[in-house]
Amino acid sequence: MIQRVVAIGLKIPDNEAYTALVTLQRLGVAVERLERCEIWQLDDTGDGSSIGGRIEANEAIFNPNKHRLRPLEQATPRAGEVWIDRIGEDADVRIAGVAHARRYVGWRLFGADDAPVHRDVVVAAVERLLCNPAIEKALY
């Protein structure tokens, strides 16, 4: 079994990300651009070259008209990114060859230079808006 991680993001305008961006800016967080995506961490028994097609075949999580799939190299957030885990929520998803799946909401923050922000900015965004610690956990 191999752990694979993919990001599923929107290729259409993301109103939720825009609203979060404007709110963070009003709250004084130094962010110029914000991306939101679903992060899927998969325990996979299938062929690695077919994971994209197998995910795209599940219309409950992927719609080719609005989603873009991107494999991630590591099972940890990238620079400027946080993954929000809803405590106690397991993903009940059926993907051929996948024994277990975990879903996170990924938020990636960028500064004025269009580079990922430093961790302290991500922490401020998490504490002020992106994570409800009563029901969610932030992974940096």
* pLDDT score of 93: 82
The predicted model gives 5-26 an average pLDDT of 98
The predicted-structure confidence for 59-73, as pLDDT tens digits, reads as follows 999 999 999 999 999
Q: What confidence tier does 25 reach under pLDDT thresholds 50, 70, 90?
A: very high
Mean pLDDT of all residues in the chain? 96
* β-sheet bridge partners, residue 34: 109
The predicted-structure confidence for 91-121, as pLDDT tens digits, reads as follows 778 899 999 999 999 999 999 999 999 999 9
The structure's pTM equals 0.94
* pLDDT score of 90: 72
DSSP letters, 70-133, are: EEESSSS--TTEEEEEETT-------TTEEEEEEEEEEEEE-TTSSBPPHHHHHHHIIIII--T
* pLDDT score of 42: 96
